[in-house]
Amino acid sequence: MTPAAPLRITVLGSGSVGLAIAASYAHAGQHVTLLARGSTAPQLRSEGVLVSGVCGDHRIDPQQLKVCDADRPDAEDVACDVLIVATKAYQVREALTSLLQNAPQASMPPPAPKAVLLLQNGWGSADEARAVLPPGVPVFSSIMMIGIERRSPAHVNVNVQASPIRVGTLYESAPELMRDAVQRGQAGFLPITYEHPVEPAILNKFLFNTCLNAIGAITRMTYGELVSNMHTRHLIKQLADETIRVVRAERHAEVALDGDSYVEQTLTPFVLPKAAAHRSSMLQDVEAGRRTEIDYLNGAVVRMGPRHGVATPANDAVASLVRARETGKST
């Protein structure tokens, strides 16, 4: 039997997650294009990508990976089999709009991906992606319980790998192409699975992130320190309780009974053996002077709460503190 031709995978975003997923698919033998900006692109072209950490040490040589300027994409890289969007959540709408507008328009209809996979934290980016993509392009979401830290423009370290990347759709998107892409990705070093329905997993990750990421960014504490310290633990329970009630009202989903039981029975038993040393991606963003995804995490809880009469003072407070750290000055 003739082996299936490699899929054409385009990864939009060259941060820690983008580099890792591009490298993993290249390792799996797929045709991967990485869309990057600025001085990162020429360095990646000359050095390739180095991945280290708990998923093993892997070097992707430059010839295994095509690197293009995200502002000047080739038509074939936009009209790929799967476009993986590895930007921050607040960048999804603008990044997709820019990609489609900057693609060469020699063909009709203009080039567009056959499917889009989003790799963002939080809630809301899937709707934003659907709003700007051409009709008929299926949108898939994911959750990652994998902690990745970028150590240089061409080197990422996988600090934590607690479960596979879990991929699915929040809509009625036909799953065949994405199931195939997930299956091929399993030959890479990042574990990945297809899951239907995926919304329960995404909402559970949303709860996990609203509990830890913002407080980690404010206090500079690791996940293990956050759940072990009596003061941060007290605040985490308040954040969890508000998020649980908002999710119950907004999505009619029961992610946990209440904040206290979630922290005691689910969060702490997971964090301490698997992710105690991890520093949240939001903390890494704040320290690097980057905008955070707070509006898609605790900020999303605050937006949804009033629609259902759910008070969210703890989430409001930590969201405001993270925004203060982002700006570094009064406004």
| Confidence tier at 105 by pLDDT (50, 70, 90) | confident
Answer whether 185's CB lies under 8 Å from 9's CB. Answer: no
Within a domain: residue 145? yes
Last residue within a domain, chosen from 165, 197, 229: 197
**Residue 160 reports pLDDT greater than 90:** no
Examine residue 253 and state whether it is found in any structural domain, yes or no.
Answer: yes
pTM to 2 decimal places:
0.93
Are β-strands 66-69 and 165-168 bridged in parallel, bridged antiparallel, or unpaired?
unpaired
Residues 180 and 35 in one domain: yes
Q: What is the C-alpha separation between 124 and 158, in angstroms, rounded?
A: 26
Whether 51 is in a domain gets the answer: yes
The answer on pLDDT for 330 being more than 50 is: no
Query: Rounded to whole angstroms, how far apart are CA atoms 248 and 203?
Result: 10
β-pair partners for 158 = 53, 148
What does the pLDDT read at residue 1? Answer: 55
pLDDT of residue 331: 41
Residues 277 and 221 in one domain: yes
Residue 1 forms part of a structural domain: no
Q: Are residues 192 and 206 in the same domain?
A: no
**Structure tokens of 106?**
């020699």
50/106 same-domain check: yes
Mean pLDDT of the chain: 94
Helix (H, G, I), strand (E, B) or coil at 119: coil
In a domain, 245, yes or no: yes
Q: Which residues pair with 193 in a beta bridge?
A: 166
Shared domain check, 135 and 35: yes
Residue 277 domain boundaries: 200-327
For 21-75, write each residue's pLDDT tens digit: 999 999 999 999 999 988 899 999 999 999 999 999 999 999 999 999 999 999 9
List beta partners, residue 34.
11, 67
Residues 129 and 216 in one domain: no
Q: Is residue 151 part of a domain?
A: yes
Supply the CATH number for residue 191's domain: 3.40.50.720
Residue that finishes a domain, picked among 197, 228, 246: 197
* One-letter identity of residue 303: R
Share of the chain above pLDDT 70, in %: 97
Q: Give 233's Cβ-side CA count (13 Å radius).
A: 14
| Mean local confidence (pLDDT), 167-178 | 94
* Residues 32 and 98 both lie in one domain: yes
Q: What is the CATH number of the domain that holds 298?
A: 1.10.1040.10
In a domain, 306, yes or no: yes
Per-residue model confidence (pLDDT) at position 208:
97
Q: Residue written as tokens 């192409």? A: 177
Are 89 and 49 in the same domain? yes
**Distance separating alpha carbons of residues 238 and 314, to the nearest angstrom:** 6
Q: Crossing angle of helices 176-185/16-27, nearest 10°?
A: 80
pLDDT computed for residue 107 by the predictor = 62
Annotate 2-24 with b (16+ C-beta within 10 A) or e (fewer). Answer: eeeeebbbbbbbbbbbbbbbbbb
Side by side, the strands of the sheet bearing 192-194 are: 66-69, 31-36, 8-12, 82-85, 116-118, 139-143, 165-168, 192-194
Structurally, the chain folds into a number of domains equal to 2
Of 173, 197, 221, the position where a domain reaches its end is 197
- Looking at the domain assignment, is residue 3 inside a domain? no
For residues 137 and 124, membership in a common domain is answered with yes
Cβ atoms of 115 and 178 within 8 Å: the answer is: yes
Are residues 254 and 300 both part of a single domain?
A: yes
Strand 192-194 relative to strand 165-168, pairing: parallel
Residue corresponding to tokens 């010839």: 63
Question: Do 238 and 154 share a structural domain?
Answer: no
Question: What was the pLDDT predicted at 226?
Answer: 98
Among 72-76, 81-85, 234-238, 254-258, the range scoring the smallest mean pLDDT is: 72-76
Residues with Cβ within 8 Å of 156's Cβ and at least 6 positions away in sequence, in order, are 16, 19, 20, 23, 49, 50, 51, 52, 53, 148, 149, 150
Residues 215 and 120 grouped into a single domain: no
